[in-house]
Amino acid sequence: MSPHQEKTPGWLDWYDGPSKPHFVPPPGSVDAHCHVFGPSPDFPFAPERKYTPCNASRDQLFALRDHLGFSRNVIVQATCHGADNSAMVDACRASGGRARGVATVKRSVSDEQLQALHDAGVRGVRFNFLKRLVDTTPPDELLEIAGRVAPLGWHVVLYFEAVDLPELLDFFNALPTPLVIDHMGRPDVTQSVDGRAFETFIDFVDGNPNIWTKVSCPERLSETGPPALDGERSAYRDVVPFAKRIIETFPDRVLWGTDWPHPNLKSHMPDDGLLVDVIPHIAATAELQQKLLVDNPMRLYWPEEC
């Protein structure tokens, strides 16, 4: 990747002017998966990055939070910033306690650096297994990092493809922290929700009470896509049965996030208002919505307020 900070060709910028969702999130709702990109040059992108995004600043994220009717954010370190967590930490610090962070760290991180991340609001590290996003980190290095962050009460966020889950299972089960899985473990939604691949995922979560799932990214997983521009707001319908099954099976261990500013989407950029309107289709009752959007993320990221 060149050191120049020009956007990757064909990069889709985030959707400016999202619609107001029809669904009103319960008070105190948390967007538990979102990112900041730069802004560059204040926060340059990492030399080892696999893509160069558009800028997406903390203030733009906070404006989206308010527009969508949310109260808090969990800001996940994006791979374009490598292990330089400055932009994410800056956003957490500027949030007035309304954002927590998930960092990327290397084995060389010092205890003082980990404590400084904690003081800024970081509560987890992310291990990424998508080859298009990162170079591989050896499992022993990841295990060592997990062992270092466990005493801080942090968790590990896992991002992997569904097809890779069987060979990663033993490693995941050896991790000493709670685990949070990004984007439902990226199921192939053209397959049956009762099929073998998704069953493997459900069994994995069922087998460990310390595993949480983000029912996020319908726009990334969907084959049917967003609705046509005809006023219809029921979007990404093929993903709904997968998210619904997870929420109804593990109602106390699910989180929801926008994934704004939606890195690496190729076909379309979602209207974040439409994404919020998927929520009542996957969490059909007020009780499930309260757990998904408020109680669960507060327990994981702001336990001192619960």
Catalytic residues, by residue number, are: 259
Q: How far is the CB of 232 from ligand 0GY (least distance, A)?
A: 26
Cα–Cα–Cα angle for 282, 122, 64, nearest 5°? 50
Which uninterrupted H or E stretch holds 179? strand 179-181
Q: ∠ at Cα 174 (172, 175), nearest 5°?
A: 70
Of 268, 266, 271, the C-alpha closest to 10 is: 266
Binding residue (CB under 6 A) for ligand 0GY from 52, 79, 85, 177? 79
- The half-sphere exposure of 141 on its side-chain side, counting CA atoms within 13 A, is 11
With CB under 6 A as the contact rule, the residue among 45, 72, 157, 182 that binds ligand 0GY is: 182
Q: Which is nearer to ligand 0GY, 134 or 293 (CB)?
A: 134
Residue 249, phi then psi, degrees to nearest 5: -85, -35
Q: How far apart are CA 169 and CA 161, in angstroms?
A: 12
**Cβ 29 vs Cβ 294: under 8 Å:** yes
Q: Compute the least distance from the CB of residue 77 to ligand 0GY, in Å.
A: 7
Q: Which stretch binds ligand 0GY (CB under 6 A): 9-17, 24-32, 75-83, 117-125?
A: 75-83
String of b and e for 178-189 (b: at least 16 CB within 10 Å)?
Answer: bbbbbbbbbbeb
CA-based R_g, the chain, Å: 18
One symbol per residue from 266 to 285: x for binding ligand 0GY (CB under 6 A), - otherwise; what is it? Answer: --------------------
Phi, psi for 100 (deg, rounded to 5): -115, 165
Q: Is 263 in the site for ligand 0GY (CB under 6 A)?
A: yes
Query: CB of residue 193 vs ligand 0GY: minimum separation in angstroms?
Result: 21
Binding residues for ligand 0GY, rule CB under 6 A, total: 9
Give the integer Cα–Cα distance in Å for 49 and 145.
21
Out of 32, 56, 78, 142, the only residue in the binding site for ligand 0GY (CB under 6 A) is 78
Residue 52 or 79 with smaller CB distance to ligand 0GY: 79
Q: Which is nearer to ligand 0GY, 70 or 290 (CB)?
A: 70
Instruction: Compose the 185-224 pattern: x for residues touching ligand 0GY by CB under 6 A, - for all others.
Output: ----------------------------------------
Question: Minimum CB separation from ligand 0GY for residue 110, in Å?
Answer: 23
Range 21-50, binding ligand 0GY (CB under 6 A): 35
Minimum gap (Å) between residue 87 Cβ and ligand 0GY: 12
Closest to 76 measured CA to CA, from 89, 62, 95: 89
179 contributes a contact to ligand 0GY by CB under 6 A: no
The residue ranges that bind ligand 0GY (CB under 6 A) are 35, 78-80, 133, 182, 259, 263-264
